[in-house]
Structure 1
Amino acid sequence: MVKEIKAMNQKSQEFNEQRTLSHGNKNETIEETIERIKQRIIQSGDKPHVTVARQLELLNELASFPLGQFLLQNRGVNGYWTDYVMEHQYRGRITGIDAEGRILTELEKFLLDKKFLPTQQRYVIFSEFIQNYVRDGIVFASLPCGVMKDLLKLDFTGIENFRLVGIDIDYESLELAKKLAEEYGLSEKVEFHQEDAWKLPFEDEFTLLTSNGLNVYEADDNKVTELYRQFFQALMPGGILVTSFLTPSPNINPNSEWDMSQINSEDLLLSKIIFFDILDVKFTAFRSSSTTKLQLQSVGFDEIEFIWDNARRYPTVTARKPK
């Protein structure tokens, strides 16, 4: 499975789980990408918090491993790399090597052990919460599903009547999810749909819908509210939404909900240099829990609850569609 995923991932570098995420030039080689970013860094000059020399050093380090190369070309992660990041906490963090036996570089360890820790914690929270809703007759949906391990890994012991639905705009992710469903022996229980999350054809269909990785790329609050409206429509009465969002840092919002006692300032600076100065990432849409709650309420959700990661940076929010 790992080799098949890697081969498909290398075949197409386009990342389009949602249209606003796609950035990498499909005609641009990794060498061209590195050179373009290098020239941008040089032209921008030294910054108060980081020199050109340090940025170029980090650029070269990012280019030395697969995840770094993908981030350089796409400024985000697709279904395959999301799964790679999530699964690291169960294997790579312990062994220091990836699934193919390659020793992780120090910068790679930083990204996987520290930078992506909040989303890894979020993944565990999602899994534990969703497992509590597994019972006969359920219809669970994942959007964007990526490789859909969030649902495929659930324990369905003793459950015969259930359906899993994977929805993604990215064809490659859907194909990988189909292969994984076969490996889990769940092909007969799974169906897949290539759809735009903002134009869903479903109505009153799902018992539970899980969604991670869309709202963080959309800065327009009205569009995010519309996304939640699509989720609301797709859920059956009494259905549960499980989603997440990024909270703003103290630098962005003085009323930040971050728990700074859980955050290392040097790690935070390194993350800023990598993701904003070098990669110029697109996932910069931050929202407070109060804003998120109002958005969900405005489309009809009730029983809205928050489950926080340790640093309160990437919380999970659950909500119910009234019966």
Structure 2
Amino acid sequence: MDILSHGHSITSTAGETPSDVARLRAELSEFELGRYLLNNLGLNGQWTSYVLLYPERGSQTRLSSDGSPLGELETWLLERCPLLLATQQRFSLMRGLTQPLLRSGMQLASLPSGLMDDLLTLDYAACHDVSLTAIDLDAKALDAALRNHSERHTPVAMACEQRDAWQLSCQGRWDLITSNGLNIYVDDDQLCTAFYRQVAEALRPEGVFIVSFITPPDHWKPYSRADLEQQRLLFQDVVPVRWMCHRDEATTRGQLAEAGLEVISVHYDEQRMFPAVLARKHGSALL
């Protein structure tokens, strides 16, 4: 299966480009993150990490990825774009759900792993013999995850596996699996459920799944309507990104249940755009 999140290009359309679209394209071309979005219509592991960790790193330095001062549009993307703010909050929510579940001897996996920030940024001081598995279809993301593990000196073992999420083909292997952002690229509901089924089969009987989903726009409560309109223009007309597959909570609960996973709790970000879900394999012990 192709990598869903990045590596695609914009199909040219006939006719003149409206001035505001042309302006935004020109502004995106001025910084690395913008150029990547223009060329790939999505984010790979490196750029996802860049967005997720901005509140902890970039907001202190106010520097772009190349060391230059942040420009106006990149600052807006990282600090005001509604969905990217929700993505940052979702990352925090999912880490908050994962941390208290950590126990010695656990086998954890991230799928797709990207740089493994979701697991490598946790505190393992009270645990021993924990091992992590980075699973991704993108070999470059796995290489970056290994570098991230080494640079952070996270005191846990880590292995990498280049796999298709729909072909895990393993039974009862992991205690906990996290998944940040794969389903938002999958428009087909049955395909999404099939992914969840692969996860359920890969979990041990007491296994936990932590996942998220993007809600439909009519559910959103944005901080700013003007920023929401700018987001619509940017991610529909300028860069038609592939990450906008929306599902409501009821649909997500139904898909997880059909796959053999029971929802324990749903945790919404402040704008109700990108909630995190804590689920368990059917028949597992109460959390």
Report TM bin, short chain: over 0.9
Q: Could you say which residue in structure 1 is the equivalent of 2:224?
A: 264
Residues 205 and 234 of structure 1 are in contact (CA less than 8 Å); yes or no, is this contact kept in structure 2?
A: yes
- Normalised to the residue count of structure 2, the TM-score between the two structures is 0.92
Which residue pairs with 1:315 in the alignment?
275
Pairing 1:261-300 to 2, within 5 Å after superposition: 262-300=222-260
Amino acid at match of 2:141: S
Question: Structure 1 residues 22, 123: closer, same or farther in 2, change over 3 A?
Answer: closer
Correspondence for 2:131: 163
Asked if structure 1 preserves the Cα contact closer than 8 Å seen for 2:104 and 2:130, the reply is: yes
Deviation at 1:44, TM superposition (A): 5.8
- 1:299, CA displacement in angstroms? 1.5
The CA RMSD over aligned residues, in Å, is: 1.8
Match of 1:111 among 61, 64, 77: 77
Cα deviation, 1:31-82, whole Å, max 9, x if unaligned, reads xx7xx75xx3x7165xxxxxx1111111100000000000000000000000
Q: Which amino acid aligns with 1:124?
A: S
SS at match of 2:15: helix
Q: Tell me the equivalent position of 1:82.
A: 48
The answer to whether the Cα contact below 8 Å between 1:304 and 1:320 also exists between their aligned partners in 2 is yes
- Residue ranges of structure 1 left out of the alignment (5+ in a row): 1-15, 26-32, 46-51, 251-256
- In the TM superposition, residue 219 of structure 1 has moved relative to its aligned partner by 0.6
Q: Is 2:32–2:65's contact at 8 Å kept on the other side of the alignment? A: no
Aligned match of 2:39:
73
Contact residue 178 and residue 187 of structure 1 kept, 8 A: no
Which has the higher Rg, Structure 1 or Structure 2?
Answer: 1
1:200-244, CA deviations, whole angstroms, 9 ceiling, x for partnerless residues?
Answer: 032111111000111111110000000100110111011110000
5 Å-filtered alignment, 1:117-266, equals 117-186=85-154, 189-250=157-218, 257-259=219-221, 262-266=222-226
Aligned-partner residue type, residue 175 of structure 1: D
Identity, in percent, stands at 35
Partner SS for 2:80: helix
Counterparts of 2:271 and 2:185, CA distance in 1: 21
SS of the equivalent of 1:127 reads helix
Whether the 8 Å contact between 1:293 and 1:304 is mirrored in structure 2 is no
Q: Which residue of 2 aligns with 1:94?
A: 60
Task: Give the stretch that moved more between structures: 88-97 or 281-290.
Answer: 88-97
